[in-house]
Amino acid sequence: MYNELKKPAFQFDLNRCTGCQACAVACTLENELDLLHSWRTVYTFNEAHEPNLPQFHLSMACNHCLDAPCLKYCPALAISRDSVSGAVLIDGGKCIGCKYCSWVCPYDAPKFNRTAGIMEKCTFCQPRLAEGLKPACVGICPTDALQFGAYTENRNPEIPGFPDRPVRPAISIIALRGNNRLPQMDCTPFDPQLTPFLSNHSRKFEPKITLSSEWTLLLFSLIAAFSVGWFAAFVVFSSAFDVRVFAVLCFAGMGISTLHLGKKLRAWRALLSWKHSWLSREILFFGLFTIPAVLYGIGFLQNTAGGWLAVVFGFAALFAMDRVYDVLPQYAPGWHSARVLFTGLLVFSLLGALREFAVVLLLAKGIVYLRQKFTGLKIGQALRPALSVLRILIGIFLPVILFFLNGNNYDYKILILCGVVIGEVTDRIEFYLQLDLSPEWKKYG
Amino acid sequence: MPEFVTACPRNCYSTCSMRVSVRDGRLRMIEPHEENKATSGGICLKGLSYIERVYSPDRILNPLHRTASGSFEKIDWEDALNLICKNIIRLKNEYGPQSILYYTGSGTKGLLNAVGMNFWRLFGGCTTTYGDLCWPAGLEATRLTLGENKHNAPWDLENARLIIFWGKNAAETNIHQMVFADRALQNGAKLVVIDPRRTQTAERAHLLIQPRPGTDGALALGLANVLIHDEKPDISFISRHVHGFTAFKKLVGKYTVQKVSEICGVSPDAIIQLAEWLGEIKPSTINAGFGMQRFTNSGQTMRAMIALLAITGNIGKPGAGWMFANLQSAVFDVVKDPIAFYPPQQPDGVVRVSVSTAKLGPDMRAQSEPPLKMIWVERGNPVTQNPETNMVLKAFRQLDFRVVVDQFMTDTAREADLILPAKSMFEQSDIIGAYWHSYIQLKQKLIDPPGEVKPETEIYYLLAKKLGFSEADCKDKIPAPGDASIESWLQERILRFPDITLDRLREGPVEAPGHEAVAFADLKFQTPSGKIELYSEQAARLWSVDPLPDYRESAESGKRATGKNDKYPLYFLTPNTKNRIHSQFNNLQLIRRYSEKPEILLHPVDAAARGISNGNPVRVFNDRGELRLPAKTDAGLRPGCVLVTNGWWISEGGTVNFLSAARETDMGYGAAFHDNRVEVEKTINDK
Ligand code: SF4
Ligand code: SF4
């Protein structure tokens, strides 16, 4: 039986690893993966040999964390812990291929298998463990840098790029021997002016989230925000409503959201982990919003309480949707201006003629937006001037000015709405662009 | 799952013992064999990639014949053998058998490799090469100084207190050695790396000295100067075991720290620091690499380096010594390297040993009476691996008929008229030695050759039949096809060693009979004086060099600047990497995923001076040829040095030997192709 105290764990000695890649190749062969893929990756720090920094390597696969975020947040309950080895395992028969586990993993362990449409990752080599052998990578490592031992609660030493998160990874890393971090070198001292000639050195890693792969989620989240806001305005202020358009919007949104799944037919499994995963909750709440809302819209549900209930679920869905991103370890969006909950409220106040509230929200969004732009620039994010102008001028200034020019004018209303839609879409696009989930070590090189 | 024992036969220090699991007749996984104490840690990525290599869709599985249009078509063995017979008989009649060059490389080790030359002798002769691309200068320097090429067992390195990796990047080329180096470091040893670049091996070192390429000899003499000046030499050891110390002392007097610092471009502090450690820390081991001894002055360089150990008494003790080549497992060789690859003093009139491996291109073209008309290439890829690729290509293209035996469509195979498919290491048993540890191992047959592949021995056997050689002639020389016959042939070779049987070898590696864990522990040296010879009359007689290991600038040294040299100010380093054994392996996906295409590394200073940034396309050139590659900056290089790794195919982006020179080393008939300078310029991206 699995005993947390005796839990197996990787051990990795930075002094010994030469970056030879044998572990990663062993993984490919043992697990009979496509020859170009491996569940283990060796990252090199300071490939350019910056003279004041050591060069070293980090060989990483799954660390089978004791508080595994993938296991906790998988919406489909496809990830479990092996009762004997403590390995965190993905059940290929249950995985829906939503990739959320790879987003929440600080170590980039789960890998998407395009052919199978599911996520896969290191299993500690279950069949080998069953035979009393060590995982293949450990057995193959020629320098014994990678070993297999028992888990200890000791925190890992501070290693540049190694995200020591409170997830209790089953790996202990032996740091570089203290006084021997860098050889004493006898070459022309490095002139910082030459730094530009060293830049762009790191290998280009495929970003985990890209607009082109995640546009379906972007669309879904905006559709959700607009439909919730719209319906709430209808219930609370009896503003104009067209249930046919509304129903098409909601169901299309749900349909689109399944498009990014590797296993679309298993989409229903996404609801299974409503107890733990905000991803499940988001879908559950959105369903609980859509159905009564449509029924209410066609007049089947007469009771206003039903409408109000739908509104509550609607905003809960938006709240859950924001939480989905809040838990990502590498990314703390905080009060991002593109939070869908606020988009929903904005639409609600706009359509519901809460003019002052809408203006306040818009201005607040503008301030938050500018603030995140400045902090973003400081940490090296792109400025994206065209999007920024669109966001601020069309998405905020235009509606606010039109409001003051008499927002009840019908033409203006349309214009205001258009401005808001453009602004929110732009903001959401930037949100996805900023969502950099590459593990910290990938930023070295 | 059944598991079998075998060993990697590549030209690699490690020569790993392996356990191979086979499922349904297919190789599945390769793992280390714990009984090889040198390589029990693991298998490198190349060794693992055999699983792909054996089954690669690119593998050549049929004889291929070049058609009139220049493409290759499959032909059957009968036609292939007839074509060969027709050509070799015609050439023998018209020009004599010596118009055929039999060329072999270091692609695979094994006793059965001898069968090829047996065939050509029976045929009536051929021409062949002398010398070697790899390590002759160092072998000869060691032989002249210590009498024999042997060193302590690999694991003894952990007893060293001072480890110097001198021109050796063990982390990439002998990864298993790093285990012992790390153990020594854990015990408090000092690690010094001497290399013009900051290598992977240097990363955990205490001191990295980056001399100007080709000046290591001066550095060694400078270190000796400081040692002697500080009265550090081990006088009692010297008086009993060293020959020529007085003369040597006088020589090194000229190599003051200041002078050496100027020659090598190394700070006086670094020289003094290392000399201090050499004087005070014992035992010390120097691991000398192969790359550094491919200069025109490198035999003398290596002699000067060994002298450092001799005068500090670091020979014949645990944790001490000169680790260059360990030929203790070469028990089957009657004559050992380097002598084995020297041209015979008396030509036998059958095999003409007249083509220098180092000067393959020009020498092939220079042969007369008879001139060369045909080449047979086996286990090698001379088009990319021998110096001056353009000259080699020219020489190849002048021939009438070219046969190349290979597993893949290498650049040499592309030049062939007839390609014969080569076996993989899992398709015929053989016995191999090593040159770092001293295990004898069985490279075992585990699967049948795929497709139409035939082991070389079988090709020779079939040719022998066709040519009508008699059974009696072939006996012992060319084994008949079939596992039983091969095994009995191997059995024959190991008969005189009772501890080595095929059955024992099937279990795992066996240490060579008479091997010494601490080499020269008896302090007996097979030199004319019976001592370690710092002064060698033999060296002077055989190679016309100074009897003392005096320093001379290498052929393309910047300090010799003639007008011509100034055109090419950059030293061109072409080291091996972990990804390849010379030109093998990079065609596989498992390897290519880590080394996609060749690139040239430049120090940011040199890049900036030429307006080159990372990723820019550049042209690397000298009078011998050029390469077009993307640039990559590397602040770990010594400024003034640029680097492209060895072993890329022309079809992958270009071999470094387009730029190297066909020249011999000062001793041993080695190839001095690292003595090489180039210029780099930015090009406009063609596409
Ligand atoms: S096999 Fe070992 S030495 Fe090689 S990269 Fe992996 S962990 Fe590092
Ligand atoms: S290439 Fe060298 S290190 Fe790799 S498996 Fe073969 S012998 Fe071992």
| Strand ranges for B25-99 from DSSP E | 26-32, 64-66, 72-74
Instruction: Grade residue A305 by pLDDT with cuts at 50, 70 and 90.
Output: confident
Q: What is the pLDDT of residue B161?
A: 98
Q: What is the pLDDT of residue A100?
A: 92
Q: What is the pLDDT of residue A3?
A: 60
Instruction: Grade residue B687 by pLDDT with cuts at 50, 70 and 90.
Output: very low
* Amino acid found at A114: R
pLDDT of B179 above 60? yes
Instruction: Grade residue A314 by pLDDT with cuts at 50, 70 and 90.
Output: very high
Question: Across residues A435-445, what is the average pLDDT?
Answer: 62
Kindly give the residue spans of alpha helices, DSSP state H, lying in A58-135: 69-73, 100-104, 126-130
List CB contacts of B326: < 8 A, sequence separation 6 or more: B149, B150, B151, B434, B435, B436, B437, B438, B519
Instruction: Grade residue A195 by pLDDT with cuts at 50, 70 and 90.
Output: low
Question: Across residues B153-168, what is the average pLDDT?
Answer: 98
What is the CA(A142)–ligand 2 centre distance, in A? 10
pLDDT of B565 above 70? no
Compute the distance between CA of residue A221 and CA of residue A282 in angstroms, rounded to an integer.
10
Q: Which fold has domain B570-682?
A: Barwin-like endoglucanases (2.40.40)
Looking at the CA of B109, name the nearest ligand: 2
CB of B196 closer than 8 Å to CB of A14: no
pLDDT of A51 above 90? no
Instruction: Grade residue B579 by pLDDT with cuts at 50, 70 and 90.
Output: very high
Question: Across residues B291-296, what is the average pLDDT?
Answer: 97
Compute the distance between CA of residue A207 and CA of residue A199 in angstroms, rounded to an integer.
19
Q: Which atom of ligand 2 is nearest to the CA of B44?
A: 4
Compute the distance between CA of residue B394 and CA of residue B416 in angstroms, rounded to an integer.
13
What is the CA(B163)–ligand 2 centre distance, in A? 23
Q: What is the pLDDT of residue B330?
A: 95
Distance from CA of B671 to the nearest CA of A (A): 28
Of A38-52, B513-527, B560-574, the poorest mean pLDDT is in B560-574
Compute the distance between CA of residue A85 and CA of residue B266 in angstroms, rounded to an integer.
54
Q: Which atom of ligand 2 is nearest to the CA of B47?
A: 5
The residue ranking higher by pLDDT, B426 or A2, is B426
Instruction: Grade residue A159 by pLDDT with cuts at 50, 70 and 90.
Output: confident
Looking at the CA of B435, name the nearest ligand: 2
pLDDT of B561 above 80? no
Compute the distance between CA of residue B668 and CA of residue B336 in angstroms, rounded to an integer.
13
Q: What is the pLDDT of residue B528?
A: 98
Instruction: Grade residue B134 by pLDDT with cuts at 50, 70 and 90.
Output: very high
Distance from CA of B107 to the nearest CA of A (A): 22
Q: Which atom of ligand 1 is nearest to the CA of A141?
A: 1
The vertex-B474 CA angle with B470 and B475, nearest 5°, equals: 115
Instruction: Grade residue B432 by pLDDT with cuts at 50, 70 and 90.
Output: very high
Regarding the beta carbon of B8 and ligand 2, being less than 6 Å apart is answered yes
Compute the distance between CA of residue B32 and CA of residue B19 in angstroms, rounded to an integer.
6
Strands lying side by side in the sheet with B162-166: A184-185, B207-209, B190-194, B162-166, B284-288, B321-323
User: B589 vs A36: CB contact, 8 Å cut-off?
Assistant: yes
Q: Which of A11, A14, A15, A20 to mutate to test the pocket of ligand 1 (most atoms within 8 A of CB)?
A: A20
What is the CA(A57)–ligand 1 centre distance, in A? 8
Q: What is the pLDDT of residue A445?
A: 47
Of A242-251, B29-38, B561-570, the poorest mean pLDDT is in B561-570
Among B44, B208, B603, the residue with its CB nearest the CB of A185 is B208
Q: Which atom of ligand 1 is nearest to the CA of A18?
A: 3
Question: Across residues B149-170, what is the average pLDDT?
Answer: 98
Q: Which atom of ligand 2 is nearest to the CA of B30?
A: 5
Q: What is the pLDDT of residue A355?
A: 82
Does B137-328+528-543 match B64-124+342-426+449-478+486-495 at the fold level?
no
Instruction: Grade residue A428 by pLDDT with cuts at 50, 70 and 90.
Output: very high
DSSP of B142-200, one letter per residue? Answer: HHHHHSS-----GGGGGG-SEEEEES--HHHHSTTHHHHHHHHHHTT-EEEEE-SB--T
DSSP of A239-305, one letter per residue? Answer: ----HHHHHHHHHHHHHHHHTT-SSGGGGGGGGTTTTT-HHHHHHHHHHHHHHHHHHHHTTS---HH
CB of B115 closer than 8 Å to CB of B457: yes
Percent of chain B with pLDDT over 70: 99
Of A301-310, B322-331, B368-377, B404-413, the poorest mean pLDDT is in A301-310
Compute the distance between CA of residue A220 and CA of residue B254 in angstroms, rounded to an integer.
81
- Give B202's contacts in chain A (Cβ within 8 Å): 183
pLDDT of B530 above 60? yes
- Give A196's contacts in chain B (Cβ within 8 Å): 613
The domain spans of chain B are 64-124+342-426+449-478+486-495, 137-328+528-543, 570-682
> Which residue has a Cα nearest atom 1 of ligand 1?
A141
* Residues in a beta bridge with B72: B66
Regarding the beta carbon of B9 and ligand 2, being less than 6 Å apart is answered no
pLDDT of B125 above 80? yes
Provide the sign of the torsion angle of the four alpha carbons B354, B359, B364, B369, taken in this order. Answer: negative
What is the CA(A141)–ligand 1 centre distance, in A? 5
The reply to whether CATH 3.40.1670.10 applies to domain B137-328+528-543 is no
Instruction: Grade residue B334 by pLDDT with cuts at 50, 70 and 90.
Output: confident
Regarding the beta carbon of B581 and ligand 2, being less than 6 Å apart is answered yes
CB of B612 closer than 8 Å to CB of B631: yes
Regarding the beta carbon of B16 and ligand 2, being less than 6 Å apart is answered yes
List CB contacts of A9: < 8 A, sequence separation 6 or more: A63, A64, A148, A149, A150, A151, A152, A170, A171, A172
Compute the distance between CA of residue A281 and CA of residue A270 in angstroms, rounded to an integer.
9
* Residues in a beta bridge with B440: B510
pLDDT of A439 above 80? no
**Residues A92-142 pLDDT 10s:** 999 999 999 999 998 889 999 999 999 999 999 999 999 999 999 999 999
Kindly give the residue spans of alpha helices, DSSP state H, lying in B204-280: 216-229, 235-241, 245-252, 257-264, 268-280
B213: left (phi over 0), alpha (psi -120 to 50) or beta: beta
pLDDT of B686 above 70? no
User: A49 vs B604: CB contact, 8 Å cut-off?
Assistant: no
Q: Which atom of ligand 1 is nearest to the CA of A42?
A: 5
**Residues B463-472 pLDDT 10s:** 999 999 999 9
Q: What is the pLDDT of residue B536?
A: 98
List CB contacts of B367: < 8 A, sequence separation 6 or more: B101, B127, B354, B355
Q: Measure Cα distances from B264 to A19, B217, B564 in Å.
A: 30, 9, 21
> Which residue has a Cα nearest atom 4 of ligand 1?
A20
B445 SS3 class: coil
Q: Which fold has domain B64-124+342-426+449-478+486-495?
A: Rossmann fold (3.40.50)
Looking at the CA of A43, name the nearest ligand: 1
Among A136, A142, A198, the residue with its CB nearest the CB of B635 is A198
**Residues A331-340 pLDDT 10s:** 665 678 999 9
B379: left (phi over 0), alpha (psi -120 to 50) or beta: left
Q: Which residue of A has its CA nearest to B189?
A: A180
Among B204, B207, B607, the residue with its CB nearest the CB of A184 is B207
Looking at the CA of B176, name the nearest ligand: 2
Q: What is the pLDDT of residue A157?
A: 79
Instruction: Grade residue A199 by pLDDT with cuts at 50, 70 and 90.
Output: low
What is the CA(B12)–ligand 2 centre distance, in A? 6
Percent of chain A with pLDDT over 70: 90
What is the CA(A8)–ligand 1 centre distance, in A? 19
Distance from CA of A15 to the nearest CA of B (A): 7
What is the CA(A395)–ligand 1 centre distance, in A? 52
**Residues B14-66 pLDDT 10s:** 999 999 999 999 999 999 999 999 999 999 999 999 999 999 999 999 999 99
How buried is residue A155: exposed, middle or buried, by Cβ count under 10 Å (0-12/13-18/19+)? exposed
**Residues B275-286 pLDDT 10s:** 999 999 999 999
Question: Across residues B457-463, what is the average pLDDT?
Answer: 98
**Alpha-carbon torsion, ordered B677, B682, B684, B687, to 10 deg:** 60
Compute the distance between CA of residue B198 and CA of residue B571 in angstroms, rounded to an integer.
15
How buried is residue B602: exposed, middle or buried, by Cβ count under 10 Å (0-12/13-18/19+)? buried
B324 SS3 class: coil
Question: Across residues A151-172, what is the average pLDDT?
Answer: 81
The bridge status of strand A41-45 relative to strand A56-60 is antiparallel
What is the CA(B576)–ligand 2 centre distance, in A? 13
Instruction: Grade residue A437 by pLDDT with cuts at 50, 70 and 90.
Output: confident
Question: Across residues A37-42, what is the average pLDDT?
Answer: 96
pLDDT of A194 above 90? no
Q: Which residue of B has its CA nearest to A131?
A: B1
Q: What is the pTM of this model?
A: 0.93
- Give B194's contacts in chain A (Cβ within 8 Å): none
**Residues B640-679 pLDDT 10s:** 999 999 999 999 999 999 999 999 999 999 999 999 999 9
Instruction: Grade residue A330 by pLDDT with cuts at 50, 70 and 90.
Output: low
φ, ψ of residue B632 in degrees (nearest 5): -140, 130
Percent of chain A with pLDDT over 90: 60
Regarding the beta carbon of B372 and ligand 2, being less than 6 Å apart is answered no
**In the structure, how many helices (H) and strands (E) does chain B have?**
25, 27
Q: What is the pLDDT of residue A54?
A: 86
List CB contacts of B204: < 8 A, sequence separation 6 or more: A15, A176, A177, A180, A183, B182, B185, B191
User: A183 vs B205: CB contact, 8 Å cut-off?
Assistant: yes
User: B44 vs A49: CB contact, 8 Å cut-off?
Assistant: no
**Residues B91-107 pLDDT 10s:** 999 999 999 999 999 99
Distance from CA of B43 to the nearest CA of A (A): 6
**Residues A349-398 pLDDT 10s:** 988 878 889 999 999 999 999 998 888 888 777 888 999 999 999 999 99
List CB contacts of A389: < 8 A, sequence separation 6 or more: none
Only one residue has tokens 């497709």, namely B451
Compute the distance between CA of residue B451 and CA of residue B76 in angstroms, rounded to an integer.
11
Only one residue has tokens 């859509």, namely A290
